[in-house]
Structure 1
């Protein structure tokens, strides 16, 4: 996986900003990143022309005020001993469009956004960013703590699952091998199993065996760099693998969930995968990293048309 050199952090003047600044510092320190862009997007301003004529510095003053507030929250929540180049960017417009445009301009490696459940404020539209960003996206629920003690990687043994597991291995490398990686496969018993003459439990064993064989093939393609990967197989009983993933994350006290974005070509760029889509929707407890090989999102065509 590529090194995270440039990080975009989406602030919105809420309590969520403190958590995001701490996460950004944690990530930048472990990756020896070069720059963090703290950004705030002001929603479209509808200020009459006659008002602007009377107060020509109104918008400039508003922008400077936002930048001052951002600088203050960063100063209060960033490790004072950590020195990294920072920039403070305030723009006007639609949230996801402006963040995507900024990520493209700065050739960002990671976008960092918050996920709110109780904190007031608009936040940032994570799903839209995950679909269209040309880099990875980290979604941080409120009150999360920046740590990587246990990493949960849901896997269907595909190429994008490979991306996610390689990212987990890279994180473990940077954490001096102190992170524990759990690779979870959620399998199910097909509804027509009874036509085979097998019982539900018998066919469940067959599906489990196939999952174990596929994992062995999958892991042979990956350089684990000497780190232990713990495979975990979960039988889906309610046709909702995301619930199984989140339950397992809670059970093992996962620090982060890492999943690969499905889109890798022009035809699939806007489809990050139903699993990732639903994880983004309903997960509000565990930081979620949606990985995408930098520059691989051919959805840039739609992005250009929409900006």
Structure 2
């Protein structure tokens, strides 16, 4: 995976902004990030032409006011980071389109976005950006604390699961190599198991055995940097693996969940995978990193921005 050299942080002048700046600081220190773009998007103002003629500096003043508020918060919260360049960008228009375009123009490596729980707001933007961004997306619930002691990586042993695991390894290595990674495979028992002559418990053992074999094959393809990776095998009893993932994350007190976006090419870029979609929808407590190899969505960006 790639290093996070250019970072976009989406601020909206809510209480969540302070948390996002703290996470930006954490990511920047761990990754030796070179550039952070703190961004605020003003929804279409729809100011009548006559008003703008009477007050020609109105929009400029609004933009400058928002930049000043961002700058004050960042100055108070971020702290000094060597060789880090900071920019403040205020745009007007549709939030997702402006962020996507900015990420493309700046060749961003990661977008940090807040997830509101009690505060006013929705999670719609998270899903849109996860599907369409040409880089990784870190979704931070309100009141989250930036730390890395335990990371959970749900895995079906696919290529995009490999992306997520490699990202987790790189993060832990840069953090000092002391954090622990848990690799969770959620398996289910096929409805026709009884045709095999095996009991439910026997077939469960067979499914877990194959999951254990596949984990060994999977992990051999990854340079783990001698970081501790603990496999976890969870039997899905209610046909909802995402609930199993979130339950396990809470059980182990995970500081973050990392999952790979399913779309790895321009042809599949809008399909991040049903598990990632559901995690974005259901997760309200734990920072979630959706990884995507940089630039994979770039080929369809011009089309998306016209939608």
TM-score above 0.5, yes or no: yes
Deviation at 1:123, TM superposition (A): 7.2
1:186 corresponds to: 186
2:304 corresponds to: 303
Written as runs of structure 1 = structure 2, the 5 A alignment for 1:97-136 is: 97-121=97-121, 125-136=125-136
Q: Could you tell me whether the CA contact under 8 Å between 1:149 and 1:254 is conserved in 2? A: yes
1:278 corresponds to: 278
**Residues 243/123 of structure 1: CA separation in 2 closer, same or farther (3 Å cut):** closer
Give the whole-Å Cα distance in 1 for the aligned partners of 2:144 and 2:266. Answer: 35
Q: Could you tell me whether the CA contact under 8 Å between 2:178 and 2:227 is conserved in 1? A: no
Q: Which runs of 4+ in 1 moved over 4 A?
A: 80-83, 121-124
1:217 corresponds to: 217
- Aligned to 1:223, the other structure's residue is in SS state coil
Q: How many residues of Structure 1 are paired with residues of Structure 2 in the alignment? A: 306
CA deviation digits over 1:49-72, x for unaligned, max 9?
Answer: 111111111101100011011111
Of the structure 1 ranges 19-28 and 80-89, higher mean CA displacement relative to structure 2 is found in 80-89
Written as runs of structure 1 = structure 2, the 5 A alignment for 1:38-117 is: 38-80=38-80, 84-117=84-117
1:163 corresponds to: 163
- Aligned to 2:242, the other structure's residue is in SS state helix
Gaps of 5+ in 1: none
Of the structure 1 ranges 180-189 and 261-270, higher mean CA displacement relative to structure 2 is found in 261-270
Give the whole-Å Cα distance in 2 for the aligned partners of 1:83 and 1:115. Answer: 29
Q: Could you tell me whether the CA contact under 8 Å between 1:157 and 1:214 is conserved in 2? A: yes
- Aligned to 1:51, the other structure's residue is in SS state helix
- Normalization by structure 2: what TM-score? 0.97
**Residues 46/301 of structure 1: CA separation in 2 closer, same or farther (3 Å cut):** closer
Q: Could you tell me whether the CA contact under 8 Å between 2:34 and 2:83 is conserved in 1? A: no
CA deviation digits over 1:126-145, x for unaligned, max 9?
Answer: 00000000000000000000
CA deviation digits over 1:200-256, x for unaligned, max 9?
Answer: 111111111111111111111111111121111000000000000000000000000
**Residues 111/203 of structure 1: CA separation in 2 closer, same or farther (3 Å cut):** same
1:20 corresponds to: 20
Give the whole-Å Cα distance in 1 for the aligned partners of 2:40 and 2:272. Answer: 25
Q: Could you tell me whether the CA contact under 8 Å between 2:189 and 2:207 is conserved in 1? A: yes
Give the whole-Å Cα distance in 2 for the aligned partners of 1:123 and 1:275. Answer: 16
Q: Could you tell me whether the CA contact under 8 Å between 1:136 and 1:294 is conserved in 2? A: yes
CA deviation digits over 1:108-139, x for unaligned, max 9?
Answer: 00000000011235677100000000000000
CA deviation digits over 1:155-189, x for unaligned, max 9?
Answer: 00000000000001001110111110000000000
Give the whole-Å Cα distance in 1 for the aligned partners of 2:26 and 2:227. Answer: 22
Gaps of 5+ in 2: none
Of the structure 1 ranges 224-233 and 18-27, higher mean CA displacement relative to structure 2 is found in 224-233
Give the whole-Å Cα distance in 1 for the aligned partners of 2:243 and 2:250. Answer: 11
Q: Could you tell me whether the CA contact under 8 Å between 1:100 and 1:132 is conserved in 2? A: yes
Of the structure 1 ranges 229-238 and 73-82, higher mean CA displacement relative to structure 2 is found in 73-82
2:7 corresponds to: 7
Query: What's the Cα RMSD here?
Result: 1.3
2:148 corresponds to: 148
- Normalization by structure 1: what TM-score? 0.97
Deviation at 1:98, TM superposition (A): 0.3
